[in-house]
Chains A and B, each alone.
Chain A
């Protein structure tokens, strides 16, 4: 009985350390000290997913983000014609769904599916609100990191749009030249 209690106690401590290690490697919590990471660890949710299990589906109301502690996740999008295309494959330490942390009743814009048995750390809007209320200094660090991540993603999207426009104008130029000739 005593052994079982000790085992459970150590198992919990192991899980805590594992979560702290995953959080510290994530861009969102990178500026946090060990003590601050313990505060965040107390709030986040560890979730286990089977291979091919959906974490969330496109169109659902999302309230937060996930960090991959173990396993891998595939992000897919259902196109208007019904075809499903793979956007990216994510592995340990990567995170996704962070836009939901700042959106009001924001809907998921893609599907997230576990491609193997995975462990994810969920961090949601109520958790962020709780940190901002009880430990604003930690909350400020997280929101600054979040703003940086979202800013970088916005810049990448803008660059992609510009590149696509350039490609489209090149293509239309080529087709006009074809018509003339």
Chain B
């Protein structure tokens, strides 16, 4: 009997070691192989976005392959059409921006000089740094950096655009099988907890990603339409930036509006234009707060706003923009894991 329980314990430990080693190996590969992390993040986002459609098609009687293929190809066609439609606009606005860049640098310098003077008048001893010189140096360094890394960014974009659809297709088709195989190596004593956790994580991340994407797209469309109607420069760039930043809860909408205000201030736009621009962002946020958040976002972010800001800063520090975007879902998964383990192991044993 004693031998048997020793054998059971040995087998459990071996399985736990295998699970931990597998997860660690996956994490190391994902974080070290170039472009893999971003490709997987995009693939997971698309998978979670499409999975309700796949489930619906399966429900009406389509085979798994067909149920995956139809929404997958539809999204691919939609994205291609969107890229084809927006690329001429993006090129046109990029050329305009390139031509007007010296004007913005000069305008920004003037603006900063003005603020610097005002600040010195207010407190002559505090500000000892030369803001204009620093801002000019920073702008020059950023522009040079973008120009130098352009070929690398293009290469990364190419790799990611090939890998993420491929991963997305396989995740949609074989995701359940992959997760079932992984669950099969868990030891018997924590197997039910692992199933429960994987189900909860899947549901939570799925809801979070779908809610954030729908929300960000709605905000982006409102900003694009509003700024285009106003004839405000770089409407599409500003809308895309607002979309990207809206993926970050709480702080994202504010960061998303900053470039538009900088452009307006540098261009020395009349107060009416600045007010109208602020109104566009405000309308986008009102639509977001009144209609979108209660319908799609509520309860998907189960973190306190203060925790969100802390994990957002950690994410930004560790992985830049990608870190800011994935910080909240990753933190909510950790919270879920912690409380499930606490409920199952500690509360049960107490």
**Which A residues fall within an 8 A CB radius of B?**
42-43, 45-47, 49-56, 59-64, 122, 124-126, 129-130, 133-136
Query: Which residue in chain A gives the minimum CB-CB distance to B343?
Result: A61
Query: Interface residue tally of chain B, by bracket?
Result: 20 to 34
A interface, over-half SS: mixed
Which of B108-116, B162-170, B182-190, B325-333 is the contact stretch? B182-190
Q: Contact: A63 with B196, CB < 8 Å?
A: yes
Interface pair A59/B7, CB less than 8 Å apart: no
Q: How distant is the Cα of A42 from the Cα of B176 in the complex, in angstroms?
A: 9
B348 interface hit (Cβ, 8 Å)? yes
Q: Are the CB atoms of A134 and B348 closer together than 8 Å?
A: no
**B321 contacts the other chain (Cβ, under 8 Å)?**
no
B207 CB to closest chain A CB (Å) equals: 14
For the complex, what is the distance from the CA of A49 to the CA of B55, rounded to whole Å?
Answer: 33
Contact of B192 among A43, A49, A59, A64 (CB under 8 A): A64
Cross-chain contact of B348 among A50, A59, A133 (Cβ < 8 A):
A59
Main secondary structure on B side of the interface with A: helix
Complex-state Cα separation, A33 to B348, whole angstroms: 40
Residues A52 and B189 in contact in the complex (CB < 8 Å), given A59-B348, A60-B344 = no
B348 to chain A, nearest CB (A): 6
Is B348 a contact partner of A55 (Cβ separation < 8 A)? no
Give the distance to chain B from A115, nearest Cβ to Cβ, in Å.
Answer: 12
Smallest Cβ distance from B19 to chain A, in angstroms? 15
B55, B176, B188, B192: the one contacting A53 at CB < 8 Å is B188
**Alpha-carbon distance between A70 and B192 when the two chains are bound, in angstroms:** 20
A147 to B58, CA, bound (A): 25
Contacts known (A63-B195, A63-B196); A50 close to B4, Cβ less than 8 A:
yes
Residue contacts A-B, CB under 8 angstroms, 12 given: A47-B191, A50-B4, A54-B188, A61-B192, A61-B343, A61-B348, A64-B195, A122-B192, A124-B195, A125-B196, A126-B196, A130-B176
